[in-house]
C-alpha cells in the first residue's frame, strides 16, 4: 500500500478506507509504550524509523488515530509539511480532534504550524480552546479552574449556585492571559463560595462563553463532620480502549479524584516535548475531560512521570539540572492546591481538608537518594519529612490520609528497594512519630503495584496502620496478587473509592474496589475506634 506521500488518488483511497472502517480500538492494539517510543524516535532525529513503524500499524488498521497523528509529526520533522498536512486531514477525518495538532508538541510540529494551510486551521474558532477545564484546588469556599488555549487568550469562568428548580444570578471570575511561557495554560480562582454547594460554570475565552455548562460541588465545611466519597488510583497508561475507566469513576460522583503517580508514562526527564506529548494525549481524552471538569483532581507523581523506572536522583533540588523543568511541566498540566514548599523546597507534595478529613499528599521522587546506601537514605528529603511531621502534629482531621506513590507495607514488591522497603529507617521514623505524638486516625494510600490491595501493618504498642492500594486504572500490564495482603485484585483494571462518614458516633471509612466495568469487587470498613491508642 502507498501512503499520502504518493499521488492524490492514492490518498483518496486511504481516506475512503479510513472513513469506512470502525474507529473502535482494542486495548492491546495501541499501548502507551508504542506511541511513546515512536515519538521518541522522531524527537531523536530518527523519523524514518518511526514512519516505518507507523506504516505497519496502518496496514492492520488504516483508522488508527495515534499512527495518523504520529505520521503527521514525523513528516513535519523531516520538513515535508505538505505530506504532514495530508495526514492531519486523514486523522481529522477519522475523528482525531484538531486540538491534538494545535497542542503539539509544537517544537516537533513547527514546520507544519508554519504551513499556510495549517495557519488557516490555527485561526479557526475551534483552535482556541484546547484542553480543560480541569477543576482543582477546591475548598469549602473556593475553587480553581485550568485550561489550555491554542493561542494567547483571556481566560475566565462564569458560574452560579444551583438550587433545586432555580438558580441565582451568575458571577464572572477575574481573568488571566494564557501565554507560551506556561504552554498556553491558565488558572483562575473563584472565592466567596459556600460549603457543600453545587455550582454550575462554563469557560469564557476572550470574553465569549465556550462549550457547555458543567457542575461541581464545593467541599464540606472545613473541620466539620460530613459524608462524602473520594476516588483514587495510579497506573494510568494511555490505552484508548481503557479510557472509559474515567467515565466509570465519574458515575460515582466523588468529590475528588486522587491520582497517585504513573499518571502518564514518560520515562524521558530530559525530553520536555515527550513529556508534553504524554499529557496532551490524556487531556484530549473525552472521558477524562468529562471527569476533570466535574471532580476536583489532586495529583502526585511517581517514577514514570518524574524520571524513569525505579529512579532516584539525590536530594539536591537543583541536580540533575532538569528537575525544576520537569516540575514546571508538571505544574503546567495540573491544578493542585499547592506544589511543595516553593522555590526553596520544590516538589509536588501538598495537603488539603475535605470536611474533617485531612489529605496529605507526598512527593516520593524529587528528593529520593540511593536506596543502596548503608546510611542516610531518604525518600522524602529533610524539608518534606519535617513538613509531614508538622502536618500530622497540627492536624485536626478525624482521619488523616497519607498518600504515597509507592507502598509502605513490607513485602509488597519482594526484593525491591523501590517501595518503602528500600527506606526502612525513614519509614520507621514516620511510624514512630505517629506513635510518640499519639496521632490517631491515620490511614495510608498508595499506588505503583498494578492491582488493588488491602494491607495491614501491625505495630507493637500502637494501632495497626491499614494501607489501601490501587494502581491499575488503565494499564494493560498487571502484577500478581501477594498472599501476605488482606485482599488483592488484578483481573481487570480497577480503582479505589473511599466513602467517609464522620457524622457517625464512631466515624467510618470504607474502601471499595470497583472494576473498570463498575463491578463491585470488594470492600473493607474501618472505624475510628480501630485507629486510636
132: left (phi over 0), alpha (psi -120 to 50) or beta: left
Residues 300-321 have pLDDT tens digits of 999 999 999 999 999 999 999 9
Query: Is the confidence at residue 23, as pLDDT, over 60?
Result: no
pLDDT at 17: 34
Residues 353-392 have pLDDT tens digits of 999 999 999 999 999 999 999 889 999 999 999 999 999 9
Mean pLDDT of the region 436-449: 98
Query: Is the confidence at residue 2, as pLDDT, over 90?
Result: no
Which CATH superfamily is 136-217 part of?
A: Purple acid phosphatase-like, N-terminal (2.60.40.380)
Name residues whose C-beta falls within 8 Å of residue 403's C-beta, 6 or more positions apart in sequence: 232, 258, 260, 300, 359, 360, 361, 362, 444, 445, 446
Where along the chain do its domains lie? Answer: 8-127, 136-217, 227-530
Residues 251-291 have pLDDT tens digits of 999 999 999 999 999 999 999 999 999 999 999 999 999 99
Please give the mean pLDDT across all residues of the chain.
93
| Range scoring the smallest mean pLDDT among 3-7, 35-39, 88-92, 435-439 | 3-7
| Range scoring the smallest mean pLDDT among 22-26, 196-200, 226-230, 411-415 | 22-26
Query: Is the confidence at residue 16, as pLDDT, over 70?
Result: no
User: What's CA 376's distance to the chain center, in Å?
Assistant: 31
pLDDT at 35: 85
pLDDT at 62: 81
Kindly indicate the confidence band of residue 474, based on its pLDDT and cuts at 50, 70 and 90. Answer: very high
What is the percentage of the chain residues whose pLDDT exceeds 90? 89
| Cα(379)–Cα(213) distance, integer angstroms | 42
Query: Is the confidence at residue 24, as pLDDT, over 90?
Result: no
Residues 479-499 have pLDDT tens digits of 999 999 999 999 999 999 999
| Cα(524)–Cα(532) distance, integer angstroms | 18
pTM: predicted TM-score of the whole model, two decimal places: 0.93
Q: Does the 8-127 domain belong in CATH 1.10.150?
A: no
Query: Is the confidence at residue 8, as pLDDT, over 70?
Result: no
| Cα(509)–Cα(351) distance, integer angstroms | 19
| CB 363 within 8 Å of CB 317 | no
Which CATH superfamily is 227-530 part of?
A: Alkaline phosphatase D (PhoD) (3.60.21.70)
| Cα(90)–Cα(84) distance, integer angstroms | 10
Residues 32-62 have pLDDT tens digits of 677 899 999 999 999 999 999 999 989 888 8
- Of 27, 77, 28, nearest to 51 (Cα)? 77
Residues 242-252 have pLDDT tens digits of 999 999 999 99
Per the model's pLDDT, the better-predicted residue between 269 and 3 turns out to be 269
Kindly indicate the confidence band of residue 219, based on its pLDDT and cuts at 50, 70 and 90. Answer: very high
Query: Is the confidence at residue 220, as pLDDT, over 50?
Result: yes
Could you report how far apart the first and last alpha carbons of the chain are, in Å?
71
Query: Is the confidence at residue 11, as pLDDT, over 90?
Result: no
pLDDT at 166: 58
Name residues whose C-beta falls within 8 Å of residue 408's C-beta, 6 or more positions apart in sequence: 419, 420, 427, 444, 446, 457, 465, 467
pLDDT at 7: 32
Kindly indicate the confidence band of residue 165, based on its pLDDT and cuts at 50, 70 and 90. Answer: low
Per the model's pLDDT, the better-predicted residue between 429 and 14 turns out to be 429
Amino acid at each position: 500500500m502507498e501512503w499520502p506521500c504518493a499521488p492524490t488518488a492514492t490518498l483518496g483511497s486511504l481516506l475512503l478506507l479510513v472513513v469506512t472502517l470502525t474507529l473502535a480500538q482494542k486495548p492491546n492494539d495501541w499501548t502507551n509504550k508504542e506511541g511513546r517510543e515512536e515519538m521518541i524516535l522522531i524527537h531523536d532525529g530518527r523519523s524514518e524509523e518511526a514512519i516505518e513503524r507507523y506504516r505497519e500499524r496502518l496496514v492492520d488498521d488504516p483508522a488508527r488515530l495515534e499512527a495518523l497523528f504520529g505520521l503527521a509529526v514525523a513528516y513535519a520533522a523531516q520538513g515535508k509539511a505538505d505530506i504532514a498536512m495530508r495526514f492531519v486531514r486523514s486523522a481529522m477525518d477519522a475523528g482525531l480532534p484538531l486540538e491534538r495538532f494545535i497542542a503539539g508538541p509544537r517544537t516537533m510540529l513547527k514546520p507544519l504550524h508554519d504551513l499556510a494551510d495549517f495557519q488557516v486551521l490555527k485561526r479557526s474558532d475551534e483552535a482556541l480552546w484546547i484542553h480543560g477545564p480541569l477543576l482543582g484546588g477546591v475548598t469549602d469556599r473556593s475553587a480553581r479552574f485550568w485550561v489550555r488555549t491554542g493561542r494567547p487568550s483571556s481566560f475566565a469562568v462564569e458560574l452560579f449556585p444551583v438550587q433545586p428548580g432555580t438558580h441565582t444570578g451568575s458571577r464572572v471570575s477575574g481573568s488571566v492571559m494564557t501565554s507560551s511561557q506556561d504552554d498556553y495554560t491558565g488558572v483562575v480562582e473563584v472565592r466567596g463560595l459556600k460549603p457543600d454547594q453545587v455550582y454550575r460554570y462554563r469557560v469564557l475565552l476572550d470574553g465569549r462563553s465556550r462549550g457547555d455548562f458543567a457542575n461541581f460541588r464545593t467541599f464540606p465545611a472545613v473541620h466539620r463532620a460530613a459524608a462524602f466519597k473520594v476516588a483514587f488510583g495510579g497506573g494510568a497508561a494511555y490505552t484508548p480502549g481503557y479510557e472509559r475507566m474515567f467515565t466509570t469513576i465519574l458515575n460515582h460522583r466523588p468529590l475528588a479524584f486522587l491520582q497517585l503517580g504513573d499518571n502518564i508514562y514518560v520515562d524521558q526527564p530530559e525530553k520536555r516535548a515527550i513529556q508534553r506529548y504524554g499529557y496532551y494525549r490524556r487531556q484530549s481524552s473525552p472521558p477524562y475531560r468529562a471527569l476533570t471538569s466535574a471532580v476536583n483532581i489532586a495529583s502526585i507523581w511517581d517514577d514514570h512521570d518524574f524520571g524513569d523506572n525505579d529512579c532516584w536522583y539525590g536530594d539536591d533540588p537543583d541536580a540533575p539540572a532538569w528537575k525544576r523543568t520537569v516540575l514546571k511541566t508538571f505544574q503546567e498540566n495540573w491544578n493542585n492546591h499547592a506544589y511543595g514548599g516553593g522555590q526553596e523546597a520544590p516538589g509536588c507534595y501538598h495537603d488539603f481538608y475535605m470536611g474533617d478529613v485531612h489529605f496529605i499528599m507526598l512527593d516520593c521522587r524529587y528528593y529520593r537518594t540511593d536506596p543502596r546506601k548503608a546510611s542516610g537514605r531518604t525518600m522524602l528529603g529533610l524539608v518534606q519529612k519535617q513538613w509531614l511531621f508538622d502536618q500530622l502534629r497540627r492536624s485536626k482531621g478525624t482521619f488523616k490520609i497519607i498518600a504515597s506513590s509507592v507502598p509502605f507495607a513490607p513485602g509488597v514488591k519482594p526484593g525491591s528497594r523501590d517501595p518503602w522497603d528500600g527506606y526502612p529507617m525513614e519509614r520507621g521514623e514516620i511510624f514512630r512519630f505517629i506513635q510518640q505524638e499519639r496521632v490517631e486516625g491515620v490511614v495510608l494510600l498508595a499506588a505503583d503495584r498494578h492491582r488493588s490491595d488491602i494491607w495491614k501493618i501491625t505495630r507493637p504498642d500502637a494501632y495497626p496502620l491499614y494501607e489501601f492500594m490501587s494502581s491499575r486504572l488503565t494499564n494493560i500490564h498487571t502484577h500478581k496478587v501477594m498472599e501476605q495482603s488482606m485482599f488483592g485484585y488484578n483481573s481487570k483494571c480497577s480503582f479505589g473509592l473511599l466513602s467517609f462518614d464522620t457524622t457517625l458516633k464512631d466515624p467510618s471509612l470504607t474502601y471499595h474496589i470497583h472494576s473498570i466495568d463498575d463491578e463491585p469487587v470488594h470492600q473493607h470498613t474501618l472505624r475510628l475506634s480501630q485507629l486510636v491508642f
